[in-house]
Structure 1
Amino acid sequence: MYVKEAEAFLNTASEYCHLIENFALSYESDKVISLLRTISSLYAAALTLPEEDLSDGEIAVFEFVLPDIELGAKVNYWALFDPYTDDEPVACSLNDDLQDIYRDVKEGILLFQNDKRPEATWHWKFTFESHWGQHALQAMRALHGAVGTER
């Protein structure tokens, strides 16, 4: 049974992918705010995804091209990967964050569209916890800083 939280995540994931796929068409001043709003919604929706048990079977793999994203001067930033250590900050790329999030949520959308709803939910939750969730947090931090410099 597909639950309302997974359906809500699908809608938010589709909105994020649409934004990334049409990024070049957005107005310059709207891009940072749109990204920040959409990634925040995506992150919040992922927190409510239900658990799925996929003890049998494999998840299909889809091939697709990642959209180009042009962020100009806002593309690189510094981050700490573990806030509980005194490690040095590392250089990060907002383009990498946005494309990694895109890849993981798009794969789930494609699973959903191929009638693999439990697999899509499992994929979204697993990749959120193991991969794209960290990219989303880092991207939101960088985008939040970019909003402050635009005003």
Structure 2
Amino acid sequence: MLVDKIVQTKDFITFVDSAKDFCTFLETHQSDNYKTFISDIQKLLIKLYTFGQTLPDFDLPDRDVEETDITDKDIRDLLSFIADRLRDPFYWVVFDPTNHNDTSSVCGDLIDDLGDMYKDIKTFLKDFSDPDDDVKQNALWHLKWSFDNHWNDHCMNAIYAIHYLLKHVD
């Protein structure tokens, strides 16, 4: 699907708006209240996951394109903000609940989940704002790849963990 066609679809527009809302929420250090923070972030994650699933496959552009690099300092500042908002970021989950040969639980970390998602999504948003169509196409390809192979798991696990955190919030 061509870049100019996808950007006009309702699902893609909703995804981009959700991606911007997610990044802005974390960047502007919104919400000092624990319950409000985890509730708001869960709502944003649900939208990102829902509309991330609608992203079509893309081919890489014909020429090599360099991705934007989110600096370690930017990520450290963001992770610090997230850590300040969470009482206990750790949770337990079975890595692949469909693998009946390995039912061992692993420790998840909401700080890591949100930070990894932020980095992938923010990279997409920066690159997709470039006027060069090849840069946009590359950004779309990497977004779809990173959703399918990386941050969809972080997103789903975070939604699941927050579901239980909200049950126990005082």
- One-letter code of the match for 1:149? H
Report the secondary structure of 1:52's partner residue: coil
Give the % identical residues.
27
Report the CA distance shift for 1:56/1:118 in structure 2 as closer, same or farther (over 3 A). same
Gaps of 5+ in 2: none
> Is 1:17 aligned to residue 17 of structure 2?
no
2:51 partner letter: A
Q: Which moved more, 1:84-93 or 1:135-144?
A: 84-93
Q: Which residue of 1 aligns with 2:112?
A: 96
What is the deviation of 1:87? Answer: 2.8
RMSD: 1.7
User: Deviation at 1:55?
Assistant: 5.2
Quick one: distance in 2 between partners of 1:149 and 1:22?
27
Report the TM-score, using the length of structure 2 for normalisation: 0.81
Q: Number of residues paired by the alignment?
A: 150
Deviation of 1:103 (Å): 0.6
- 17, 28, 32: which one pairs with 1:27? 32
Provide the residue aligned with 2:87 in structure 1: 73
Greater C-alpha radius of gyration: 2
Structure 1: give runs of 5+ residues left out of the alignment: none
Cα distance change on mapping 1:2 and 1:123 into 2, 3 Å:
farther
The alignment partner of 1:54 has SS state of coil
Q: In the alignment, which residue of structure 2 is the partner of 1:117? A: 136
**For each residue in 1:49-94, what CA deviation from the matched residue of structure 2 results, as whole angstroms up to 9, or x when unmatched?**
1221115233422222211312332311111111123331111211
Query: In 1, Cα distance between the equivalents of 2:148 and 2:114?
Result: 16
Output aligned runs, 1:41-56, within 5 Å: 41-54=47-60, 56=62
Give runs of ≥4 in structure 1 deviating > 6 Å.
Answer: none
Moved more, 31-40 or 107-116: 107-116
Quick check: 1:62 aligned with 2:68? yes
